[in-house]
Structure 1
Amino acid sequence: MKTPRKIGLFGFGTVGKGFYENLKKHPHLPAIISKVCVKRLDLPRIGHELYFTNDPEELLSDPELDIIVELIDDAEAAKIFVEKALLAGKHVISANKKMIGESLKEVSHWHYSFNHHFLYEAAVGGGIPIVHSVDGFFRDQEITEIRGILNGSSNYILTQMQLNQWDFDKALKEAQSKGFAERNPILDVSGIDASYKLSILAYHAFGEVPSMKSFEIESIESVTKEDIKKAKSKGRKIKLVATLKKSDQEIICTVKPETIGPNDELYSVDFENNAISVETLISGRHVFVGKGAGALPTGSAVLEDLKRLLDGYSYQVSKRVKTVS
Structure 2
Amino acid sequence: MRYLRDKEFRMSVLISACVAAITATAGFFLIRQQAAMAGFLLAVLGCVLVIALWLAFTLCRYRRLEKLAADTDRMLHGERDLNFTQYREGELEILANELSKLLNRLSEQADHLQAEKVYLSDSLADISHQLRTPLTSLNLVLARLGQETDLQERRKLLYEAGQLQGRISWLVEALLKISRIDAGTAVFVQEQVEVQKLMDSVLEPFAIPMELREQQVKLDIPAETAFTGDFSWSCEAVSNIVKNCMEHAGEGGVLTLRAQENSLYTELVIEDNGPGIAPEDLPHLFERFYKGKCSFGSGIGIGLALSRMIIKQQNGSIRGENRAEGGARFTIRFYKGIV
Q: What range is the shorter-chain TM-score in?
A: under 0.3
TM-score, length basis structure 2: 0.21
> TM-score, normalised on structure 1?
0.22
Greater helix proportion: 2
